[in-house]
Structure 1
Amino acid sequence: MGLGKTLQTISLLGYLHEFRGITGPHMVVAPKSTLGNWMKEIRRFCPVLRTVKLLGNQDERKHIREDLLVAGKFDVCVTSFEMAIKEKTALRRFSWRYVIIDEAHRIKNENSLLSKTMRLYHANYRLLITGTPLQMTRLLDILEDYLMFRAYQYCHIDGNTGGEERDAKIEAFNQPGSSKFIFLLSTRVGGLGINLATVDIVILYDSDWNPQVDLQAQHRAHRIGQKKEVQVFCFCTEYPIEEKVIERAYKKLPFDALVIQQGRLAEQKTVNKDVLLQMVRFGAEMVFSSKDNTLTD
């Protein structure tokens, strides 16, 4: 899709090799049609990595297994989804540093043969790369897995939650002395009639392109009955597109205010140039004036 996923992944492997002394072994599992490109890009951008492509008929794969795919003779094994299933016996002999799955939406169904097979491999880390959204609420599922692992009590609402279940979770969370530690909800759902007056900390883990959606989600805590000061934190990873999403969101807010409050500007038939320039600069100054990359009001 031209998002630079392949190059970023190769950069990671190159960094591990050159700066951390971690030479592998790593395994890249990708669609068969992309294996040639993976091999070409690795040779082009990080030729120090010794790469083996596991693909071919039975005789060719036997040669690769016995002569090339030998501990100490390679750094990266590039193979297809089909080969990851067929050659699982040979591939399970290795303890992989990174198992990298390209087009990772293919394993979204945890009951699929590919998904089950990939979970058989021993690896220190697993990297899933995809240009196809798993984001909308899949990230909430990942956070839910973490909360279950830590044995935290929580509530979870997304677009698939039924009305009665939704009301029951909100009521359980707002109960005095509730054992629920955290309330997970998508920003899109967060603006639809949810009252969380007992919440005093709001964390925007994954921001929306539309800043009004984020504001509506925050306002679930700014409700009648709130007795504490509400703190809002917006998590952002430095440098990738997420930073641009937040930057654009802050730039949009003054324009939204202009549209919403246009009735107040009725007397002033036109908005002068200085006002528009001030609005455009507002969001940029909020983003770029912070030296520690933390945005605060």
Structure 2
Amino acid sequence: MSNDDLYSDTIDSESDTTNDDREQVTQKDLEERVGLLCLEVEVDICVGVGVDAAPLRLHVPKDLLKSGVELREYQVRIEGVEWMHKLWSKQVGGAILADEMGLGKTIQTISFLLLLHRSAPSSRFLVVTPLSLIENWADEFQKFAAPSSVNVVKYTGSKEERGLLREKIASKDLPFDVLLVTYENVSTDIDFIRSFDWTALIVDEAHRLKNPLSLLHTTLLTLLPPPFKLLLTGTPVQNNLNELESLLSFSCPRVFGESPPDGTLARLYGGSNKDSETTRNKALKDLNTLIRPFMLRREKETVLTLPPMKETILYTPMTDLQKKLYKSILTKDMSAFDTGKKTALMNVLMQLRKCCNHPYLFDGIEPEPFQPGNHLYESSGKLFLLDSLLSHLHKSKHRVLLFSQMTHMLDILQDYLAYRNYSAVRLDGSIRGQERHAAVTSFTDGDTGAFVFLLSTRAGGVGLNLTTADTVIFFDSDFNPMMDMQAAARAHRIGQTKPVSVIRLLSEGSVEEVIFKRARAKRSLSDAVVSTSTTSASSSITDALKSPTDIISMLRFGVSALADTADVSERVRVLVDGFIADSTQEVVSDAIQEDASITRMKEQITRKMKMRLSL
């Protein structure tokens, strides 16, 4: 995965859209469309439309599900399978199931497809999923669907292997009702895919459709006749309202217009930094009401009784080696500040993020020849802290998910874990298919499983059920907070029986603090759009790193903190002791704890920033 894949779409929140001559839609136009469609469809969950239709109270026949499998009430009643079935039966066009991660979107979807197949045995369903999740979908059908209820075929493999599958399907030697296909293969083999009439199209991790000009988005729109489109995503709003509009226009063009969208939602509901908080919140509340009939969002706290999840932020000091390297990067790349070119500035930002993680991410820093030893963790403030944390967690028999975005950082962590003799397994973007399944099994295998599951945030943050773990550690944070939310949800989901502790490591006085602050603001905006609660938006939905000035401001943050001469080992001891003491207290869901001394230091840094410190 390239750096562009990792960062560009999370920093520049401008989706690729085209300018056209379509007449601008007003807020009244949109609301009238929704109202008329709700009356036609009799969707009684529409807000403010005045529909008072009796709910279907649909039931999924028990013989469709494997013996012992039962749906929870929220999964089948008016807010679940019944909702999907109603929109399908009334030919609305599509819907977005946006339940929070861990609420069982997969089993709800399988139940919906089983129900449709029972009523129309000749129907066929196309499930489009990332390659990393195709085995998971096959496993879930086997786990939940009654034997012989549907025939599921995985359309994957090499070009030759897929050719053999096509021959078997054409000769009817391989009958199927559900075809599982990857993002890549649906585009490569679209002529074959288009040769079938699909009753329903399911797109998993559907936020991948956020760019209306992407190959996946445009390819799937060529399916004729258009099937019912069900989009599955726990993060329908990641950066801006243009992305949400892209999903809505794809799934329900009758209301939100044909793709590509024209930015109507951002224009009508996005607001600006000049708007008051009251104005912004009202606009997002109106948007929430508008999209609610077509996008279903439930949160764990409203439908499940799960053990609580608590987030602790530990601001870690940098070692002298890290500070020296940090200063060197800023000094060496002064030309980037002079030119103001965004690409050059982003490169500086990336180098500083690497420095915050570990100096060995740079060539020539690690002593040669490589010898395992204490230097692995003593060179990095974060790893120094992690060493103490893992010692406590191992003694207390916790199980840990350890996330990082950088594969080279995973290499260093893997060497460190081996040096400390901690049992560990690893999953990153290079691990596919059966290897991925084996890694998960190795970790989840009861009390004999590995102590640490080492994962890349993007590859390991979706489609996995890892409730064996009760501790999630983010070694570094994503620009896109939804990625971290998805990753944490691997442990905090249906099946979890223990309180979950989420620990986030941030290098104090560094660019990481600003990245996290921006990510937290972005998350509040997403919550305000899709949540059914009274979430407030803290800033404009369009807030992002759009200009070189924004990036320079981020790079300059915390420069004065590099002069701090506090002893790293003593600071780490205080932080770990505080974490251990706090973890014995009552756990409060989603609480964020900050060490008081670090908070005071941050205030000092802020005061110095106001003095216009120059580099």
Report the TM-score when normalising by structure 1: 0.48
Please identify which structure carries the higher strand content: 1
